[in-house]
Structure 1
Amino acid sequence: MFSPPAQGEDYTILQALVSVDMLVLFLATICGVGGTLTAIDNMGQIGQSLGYPPKSIKTFISLISIWNYAGRVTAGFASEAVLARYKFPRPLMLTLVLLLACVGHLLIAFGVPQSLYAASVVIGFCFGAQWPLLFAIISELFGLKYYSTLYNFGSVASPIGAYALNVRVAGYLYDVEAARQHGGTLDGAGDKTCIGVQCFKLAFLIITAATVAGALVSLLLVWRTRNFYRSDIYAKFRDAGK
């Protein structure tokens, strides 16, 4: 279990799960997906707290869905194109996506007027872009023999990140601010609606910091896989077909 093959060869499930590469990838994904998913899940309340009309809030949700799809397609196609042509490592593409997501988080945190439209586009795009990169990296580093199991393990980053950043950070801080505005307590009865930039400001500053940390962690994976992505990672498939 602790003697894995070279990167790109078929790992066993246990070899992949205890590898440093998987741990780094998993941590980066928790930070990235957790942050963008928090923004998506709370977009209605974010729009309400910043004074947007219901029609605009529906528009934000539509923009997120459209750009989520665009992110998935773009990340898959673009990362493959630059990898084949320039040996641009896929983990570095993931780093760039995480840094781009920080722009959307900061727009929400500071409540820049009318910026939630742009934030919806950025958040939707980055949320979608992370998934094809995550699953492609897993298949390339750990092989395809147990890919279906490792694919689902990678998906676990979503609920973990959502719980940590959505429930424990954004949800808790929203309730604290709502209770402060209405002169109540967190567990007391009364209006729990929060109005103003302060409702999500601290939460999304924390989420931005977590996403930056995820980007820095992903740079460790870039460094660890630098020789692998400089090589011809598809050579074994061409050789097997001869």
Structure 2
Amino acid sequence: MLLLSLAIMCGAGGTLTALDNLGQIGQSLGYPAKTINTFVSHSSIWSYAGRVASGFTSEILLSRYKFPRTLVLTAVLLLSCVGHLLIAFSVPQSLYVASIITGFCLGALWPLVYAIISEVFGLKYYSTLFNVGTVASPIGAYLLNVRAAGYLYDVEAARQHGGTLAGVDKTCKGVCSASRSRS
């Protein structure tokens, strides 16, 4: 359960960090406000699709091909890494695809986690283990979103604005918008 909780902390925490900061990411890369709203809508819609698809897909893979849900969870977490890399490398117009991938993976994570908990540990202590699995997500989101990403964003914003953020716009300028302003 500790290993599964760690996977949830990193997987759900990382995807929640990306999704929670889509607005700032889009703004720093120079996307218009209407487009940023589209990213948020995409992530929500695809989160729902991920919840539906992972339940059906994992059941089919398990019953027909004996493909364990833990490997499906691993595939979902690896797919979410693709979304993170698209954001990190700032490929032009990649935030559309990154919001879809990240939203889908966040949604796909939860049915798999709860099915894995019931299959591995049984149903005797399911409610307790369910809550342990659920609490791992906000812990991961706090550590990655507030402590890591928030801190790094503030440091970079201060660096870009001459070392102080007092009374200054706290928006970072990303790779795409900075290169556009130079041309």
Structure 1 or 2, whichever has the larger Rg, is 1
Aligned to 1:113: 92
> Relative to 1, partners in 2 of residues 1:55 and 1:72: Cα closer, same or farther, differing over 3 Å?
same
SS at match of 1:156: helix
1:28 Cα deviation after fit: 1.1
Instruction: Confirm or deny: 8 A CA contact 1:177 1:198 kept in the other structure.
Output: no
1:193 is the counterpart of 2:145: no
Q: Which residue of the partner structure matches residue 124 of structure 1?
A: 103
How many residue pairs match? The answer is 177
One of 99, 113, 121 as aligned partner of 1:134: 113
Q: TM-score, normalised by structure 2?
A: 0.92
Deviation at 1:110, TM superposition (A): 1.1
Q: Which residue of 2 aligns with 1:44?
A: 23
Is this contact kept in 2: 1:109–1:197, CA < 8 A? no
Residue aligning to 2:180? none
In the alignment, is the contact (CA less than 8 A) between 1:184 and 1:190 conserved in 2? no
Cα shift at 1:153: 1.1
Task: Indicate yes or no: 2:35 matched with 1:34.
Answer: no
Q: What does residue 78 of structure 2 align with? A: 99
Q: Which residue does the alignment assign to 2:152?
A: 173
**Separation in structure 1 between the aligned mates of residue 164 and residue 17 of structure 2, nearest angstrom:** 24
The 1:95/1:117 distance shift into structure 2, 3 A limit, reads same
1:230 maps to what in 2?
A: none
Q: For 1:92 and 1:62, locate their aligned partners in 2 and report how far apart those are by CA, in whole Å.
A: 29
- Does the 8 A contact of 1:98 with 1:126 survive in 2? yes
Shift of 1:180: 0.8
Would you say the 8 A contact 1:94–1:133 is kept in 2? yes
Shift of 1:163: 1.2
RMSD: 1.5
- Residue of structure 2 equivalent to 1:68: 47
What amino acid sits opposite 2:9 in the alignment? I
Q: Which runs of 5+ in 1 are unaligned?
A: 1-21, 200-242
Matched with 1:80 is 59
- Which consecutive aligned stretches of 4+ in structure 1 deviate over 4 angstroms post-superposition? none
Secondary structure, in 3 states, of the residue corresponding to 2:57?
helix
Unaligned runs of 5+ in 2: 178-183
Greater share of helix residues, 1 or 2?
Answer: 2
